[in-house]
Amino acid sequence: MRLSKIHVNTLREVPGEAEIPSHVWLLRAGMIRKTVSGVYSFMTLGWRTVRKIEQIVREEMDAAGAQEISTSPVQPAELWHESGRWGVYGPELWRLKDRHGREFALGPTAEEVFTDIVRGEIDSYRQLPRNLYQIQLKYRDEARPRYGLMRSREFIMKDAYSFDRDRAGLDESYLAMREAYTKVFTRCGLEFRPVAADSGPIGGKDSEEFIAFGEYGESDVLYCGACEFAATSEEAATVDAPAQMEEAERPLEAVSTPDTKTIDAVAAFLGLPKEKTLKALLFQIYDEKEDGTYIIKEYVAAFVRGDRELNMVKLRNALGGVAEHLIEFADEVSMGEATGSVGGFTGPVGLHDCRIVADSEVPGLRNLCAGALREDTHYIHVNYGRDWTADIVTDLKLVRAGDACPVCGAPLNIARGIEVGQIFKLGTKYSEALHAVYTDESQQEQLIVMGCYGIGVTRTMAAIVEQHHDDDGIIWPLAVAPFHVIICAVKYAVDEEVRRVSDEIYRELQAEGVEVLLDDRDERPGVKFKDADMIGIPLRITVGKRAAEGVVEYKKRSEQEREEVTVDEAVARAVAAVKESKE
């Protein structure tokens, strides 16, 4: 294809909206254009890369035995009510009504739709297992879309669903998808790792995220250098501090602590290490009424060691899987009137009419300092069991770098990453809710056992750019590049030899199945080179002043070195590189 004929408009300046490298370069290279906040259009070059990622996904899904179908992203509310997720999914669920007042959702995922299809068409064990997938636009009404394609309101996702007779079959389907995902992301040129993850609103017991490492990723990944343990910060378990049972309990004592509303302030005032304090975090949980309004259902006080941070995902799970939009920090005045809490001076002793959740290491600690439920007052020598107890004791801590690995005890490392895929063992969550069953060999009705497997196609595109760019632009891996080769023809419009040689190379590469872009524009060489680097075509052949001698310049986008070679050698190298990338 000739660059003069392609709809592409590169930008010289960094757009004000761009925040991270992938956002900057996809905009500057003319790959994407913003429609509204969180919604993007894909231009010619960007769409070619999206289609290549989709094709890689299709090839590996098909090879793993999955079958592609297509469903509508407009999903009837009845299915979501049937699964129980209409009110649980929260404000991210994009809801709409037709002219008759019937409610629908723009699908952020498709568990309900696929389960509905299968329950209507599968009734015998002979029809199982099945694995169905689609590649489709998805919608999530993000409160704060950001980072371009990384957190958008409209995105392309591949979602697949496996349907098996039993847990053993689910295990096999899960492993097949895990292997397929490994192949997909390897072919896309990503550095990635599967890690244990929280299932979130999708549900199910076991889940793994495929994390592409990147400085601007939204996931924190904890991993061990001494063993294979790896998990997201939401899922990573912690090792509790050693219990202090040998320390004698001292008498509870109230002490004056003026103007000490923070852990740092009270620890400094009393001369205590923060590990000897108890941190209180106060929340209110809502119920959603039928008219869409919210009422406070209960108050919750969570307690962790003073030097620790609370993991909100762990807390929500401990409270029975409270949806993210149904829990928030409590209003101090309202909660104080109901429970006796006092902002900045709340502790567990004497707290009433609220659910108390304690981190698992707290019961083993002795003689802690905690708020006394009175302004400018704290208790010292607070002890669990004697002075207070919790309704729930569980791991609430946010894991930190240096914490002990829960498997082998070695110090954990932390890295930032981008979630590009996630796989789930759903079990019977949706088949039970939607009554998706089959008849076994004994003519007994059994619930279908399900798995769920998602890949963010457009997010994968962004992750590739995050890992493959420099100060001049994108460096696409050959497998996903919009074109394999760009021919930079210097003075194409006025130099007959340049034109002849450029056209010859163009025809020969096309004949070999190489996707080639010929820059035939009437532009200065510097402009052509800058654009070639910005759009990131992996291989560049420059036809210039030595064209009449049959000599051109050959360069890989990922390297600084440029070589003068013959036309035949340039063509041969490019063909070989493309063939190797497909093996």
Domain total in the chain? 3
Q: Do 202 and 321 fall into the same domain?
A: no
What is the CB neighbour count within 10 angstroms for residue 576?
11
Q: Is 282 left (phi over 0), alpha (psi -120 to 50) or beta?
A: beta
pLDDT tens track of the chain, all 583 residues? 899 999 999 999 988 888 899 999 999 999 999 999 999 999 999 999 999 999 999 999 999 999 999 999 999 999 999 999 988 888 899 999 999 999 999 999 999 999 999 999 999 999 999 999 999 999 999 988 999 999 999 999 999 999 999 999 999 999 999 999 999 999 999 999 999 887 565 555 688 999 999 888 878 888 888 988 888 887 887 778 788 888 999 999 999 999 999 999 999 999 999 999 999 999 999 988 777 788 999 999 999 999 999 999 999 999 998 988 899 999 999 999 999 999 999 999 999 999 999 999 999 999 999 999 999 999 999 999 999 999 999 999 998 888 889 888 899 999 899 999 999 999 999 999 999 999 999 999 999 999 999 999 999 999 999 999 999 999 999 999 999 999 999 999 899 999 999 999 999 999 999 999 999 999 999 999 999 999 999 999 999 999 999 999 999 999 999 999 999 999 999 999 999 988 7
Domain extent, residue 304, equals 253-394
Q: Dihedral angle at the C-alpha atoms of 542, 545, 548, 549, nearest 10 degrees?
A: -80
Q: Do 515 and 451 fall into the same domain?
A: no
CATH number of the domain that 522 lies in? 3.40.50.800
| Token pair listed for 194 | 């599967």
What would the DSSP string read from start to end of 93-154?
A: SEEEE-TT--EEEE-S--HHHHHHHHHHH--BGGG--EEEEEEEEEE---SS-BTTTTB-SE
Q: Dihedral angle at the C-alpha atoms of 387, 391, 397, 403, nearest 10 degrees?
A: 70
Q: Do 342 and 430 fall into the same domain?
A: no
Q: Do 179 and 229 fall into the same domain?
A: yes
For residues 448 and 420, the answer to whether their CB atoms sit within 8 Å is no
Q: Do 348 and 204 fall into the same domain?
A: no
Q: Do 277 and 377 fall into the same domain?
A: yes
The full 3-state SS of 380-418, as one line of letters, equals EEECECCCECCCEEECCECCCCCCECCCCCCEEEEEEEE
Q: What is the pLDDT of residue 294?
A: 87
Q: Do 191 and 262 fall into the same domain?
A: no
Contacts 24+ apart (CB under 8 A), 195-200: 195/221, 195/223, 195/230, 195/231, 195/232, 195/235, 195/417, 196/230, 196/231, 196/232, 196/235, 196/236, 197/231, 197/232, 197/234, 197/235, 197/419, 197/422, 198/232, 198/234, 198/235, 198/313, 198/317, 199/424
CATH number of the domain that 281 lies in? 3.90.960.10
Q: Do 487 and 538 fall into the same domain?
A: yes
Task: For residue 329, give every residue at least 6 positions away whose Cβ sits within 8 Å of its Cβ, in sequence order, or none.
Answer: 281, 282, 283, 284
Task: For residue 84, give every residue at least 6 positions away whose Cβ sits within 8 Å of its Cβ, in sequence order, or none.
Answer: 433
- Between CA 44 and CA 259 the distance in angstroms is 61
Q: Do 373 and 286 fall into the same domain?
A: yes
- Between CA 578 and CA 583 the distance in angstroms is 9
pTM for the model: 0.88
Q: Do 489 and 553 fall into the same domain?
A: yes
Q: Does 406 reside within a domain? A: no
Q: Dihedral angle at the C-alpha atoms of 218, 224, 228, 230, nearest 10 degrees?
A: -20
Q: Do 58 and 163 fall into the same domain?
A: yes
Instruction: Please give the backbone phi and psi of residue 436, each rounded to the nearest 5 degrees, phi first.
Output: -95, 105
Q: Do 198 and 337 fall into the same domain?
A: no
